[in-house]
Every structure is written in C-alpha cells, then in structure tokens.
Chain A
Amino acid sequence: MTLNTTAETETAKIARGLRERDMELLADLVERCQHRLVRYLLYLIGRRDHAEDLAQETWVRVLQRGSQYNGRQRFDPWLFAIARNLAIDYLRKKRKAVQTVSLPNDRDAMLLLPSSGPSPFEAAARSEDAIRLAGQLQTLSPLYREALLLRFQEDLSLSEIAQVLGAPVTTVTSRIYRGLAALRSVFEEGGDSPGV
C-alpha cells in the first residue's frame, strides 16, 4: 500500500514537472532513463549511433508533449512508446522502398526489416552465455527482441509492454515465448557447457 502510494506520488510529480517543463526534473529523468532508452533503441534498430540520436529526439518529444503524460501509469512505458514511434518513423524514412503489404501491422512491419552494420550485442555481452546469445539476438526479429528486453531487462509487466507496443497482451506473450524459444535453441544445440 505504501509502495503504491509512493509510486503514485512519483508519477504525479513527474506529470506536473513535465507540464511545467521543469528542467531539474527533466535532468533527473535523463540521468535515470537515458542509458535504458539507448539500450531499448539499440534493441530495436541494432545501430549504436542512430540509437543515440533517436534517444535525443525522444527527449525533445518528451519536452514538447510532456503535458500528455497523465501520471496515472509509470513513466517508463510512456517514454519507451515515444521512442518506439520515433524508431519506426526513422526506419520508414530510411527504407521507403520495402514492401509491407502482406504484413498485418504496417508500423510493426518496419521493425521486421533487417538492420545493417556490426552487431552491438557482441560488444555488450558480459558472459559466455551472453556471447552465445548475441549472435542469435542479432538475427532475431526486432519484434521479439524488444519484447524480451522489455520483459527481462526492463522488468515491465505484460500490460505495460502491451502499452508500449500498442498491441494486445496475447501478442506480447506470444512474441516473448517465440523469442525465448529462438534463444533457448542456442543452448539446446550447443551442448551442456554451463553458463558463466
């Protein structure tokens, strides 16, 4: 109960600060979320340099549309949803020529496009198991990658992930299960060597 009250107070404080364009609050939010925001964008677009640029753009959007945050939900899913929209718009601009007709969701379709450039996942892997997962992560659809990140690294609830993705919870769980199955296959095929 106390924790809930604290959380509500916190989100209400953020909502008020965003409405008033409180620079101190914004600086605090940047300090807390920038690293995670870049990581999320990296999972989406697979390019470090573009992820940093899009993160900056996301913060500008937060500043401009801060009054739209109602303070009833946590701030993080709202932030990630903005970043996701920008990432999709960015990919759309970059790859206009790609056919997306056969895919059910036009916006999600943009994330299915393969990303180019070196893998940032191998550079970020900090254990033997992570190194083994990195290769698979790079080839995994960003739709699954982002669902896995939001669930297991950001620890967002399924309904919060659904809010970020603008998709039903059933779609979210399906993506997580499929993503997990794809990654698990790395260890299934790779023998029994224990993780570090």
Chain B
Amino acid sequence: MIRLECDKRFRELIDRSFVEEVSEGERQLIHDHIRDCDGCKRYVELTARTIRGLREFTFTSEPDSNAQVREILAHHTGTMRQHNVQFKIWAAFAVALSMSFVGSALVYQMAKRLAVPMHFDTAQVQAGVLVFWLLPSFCSALCLLAAPRENGGIA
C-alpha cells in the first residue's frame, strides 16, 4: 500500500494533474515534490500506469458490423421518406379541400350579389357554383392523392 505520509490535498493535486488541466506552477510543484518524496513518486507512477493500462484494451468489431448498420439505416431512411411523402400529400389534400370550400363560399356570396341585376334565382346560382367551382376544385384536391408517388407527387 502507498504510505499516506503526504498531505491529502497533494495527492488530490496529483490526481487532478492526470484528469484536468493544472497550471504550470502546480505542475512544477508536483515535479519538485516527487524528487524528494518516494511515496508521491510511486503514486504518480501507479496512476500513470493505470491510465496507460486503460488505453491498452482493444475491442475488435464484428467484420460486417458497419455494413449491417449501413443497411439498417438505408432501410429506415427509405421508410421514413415514404412516410414523409404520404404525410405531405395528405396535408396538401386537407389544405386544398378546405380552400375549395372556403373559395366556394366566397364565390357563392359574390355570385348572389351579381345574380340580382342579372335576374338569376338562388337555385341557379347554387348550381353554377357547384358545377363550375366546388366540383372542379374538389376534383383538383383529389388529384393530389392520386399523384404518382415515384415522382414525389406534390411533395
């Protein structure tokens, strides 16, 4: 066992010099001390030896370990991209659908005002908005879902 004849704080300074940054002055202090103190000199040597020993472990990887990981990552990337595209398509469809209804409501209001001087009745205006605005815009929104995925669709 190492004799604990030196101040505990000095041993802590030695430990610190191996683990953290110490000042040049502190380093010199250790250097000067261990010239005269065999106990601390041995403590320094054993600590250095322990750290050197720790660096002498070599864990060999499985030969195909990296290739396996790359393969798994490639698979996951593909799946995630596919999910991402699907999400974007559904999001775009939802936006297009809501815009289609909002747009139809606005067009309907505008058409109702124009219908009075042009002597159209409400049913005719409703039919016109349905045929010439709501249905085409709804169909356009549906087209987003049918867009070919390989080309990225709208994504």
A residues neighboring B (CB under 8 Å): 21, 23, 26-27, 30-31, 34-35, 38-39, 42, 52, 55-56, 59-60, 63-64, 120-121, 124-127, 129-130, 132-134, 148-149, 151-153, 158, 173, 176-177, 180, 183-184, 186-189, 195
Distance from A129 Cβ to chain B, minimum over Cβ atoms (Å) = 4
Q: What is the CA–CA distance of A124 and B2 in the complex, to the nearest angstrom?
A: 29
Determine whether the beta carbon of B57 is less than 8 Å from that of A23: no
Given A56-B72, A133-B53, A195-B49, are A180 and B65 also a contact pair (CB < 8 Å)?
A: no
Determine whether the beta carbon of B65 is less than 8 Å from that of A38: yes
Distance from B150 Cβ to chain A, minimum over Cβ atoms (Å) = 19
Determine whether the beta carbon of B46 is less than 8 Å from that of A187: yes
B residues neighboring A (CB under 8 Å): 1-2, 12, 15, 18-20, 46-47, 49-62, 65-66, 68-70, 72-74, 76-77, 80-81
A-B contact list, 21 entries, CB within 8 Å: A21-B81, A38-B59, A38-B65, A55-B69, A56-B69, A63-B73, A126-B58, A127-B56, A129-B53, A130-B54, A133-B50, A149-B54, A152-B51, A153-B54, A153-B55, A158-B20, A176-B19, A177-B12, A180-B47, A183-B54, A195-B49
Determine whether the beta carbon of A133 is less than 8 Å from that of B54: yes
Q: What is the CA–CA distance of A149 and B54 in the complex, to the nearest angstrom?
A: 8
Given A152-B51, A158-B20, are A188 and B74 also a contact pair (CB < 8 Å)?
A: no
Main SS class of interface, A = helix
Give the chain A neighbours of B57 by CB distance below 8 A.
Answer: 121, 124-126, 130, 134, 153
Given A56-B69, A173-B19, A180-B18, are A34 and B76 also a contact pair (CB < 8 Å)?
A: no
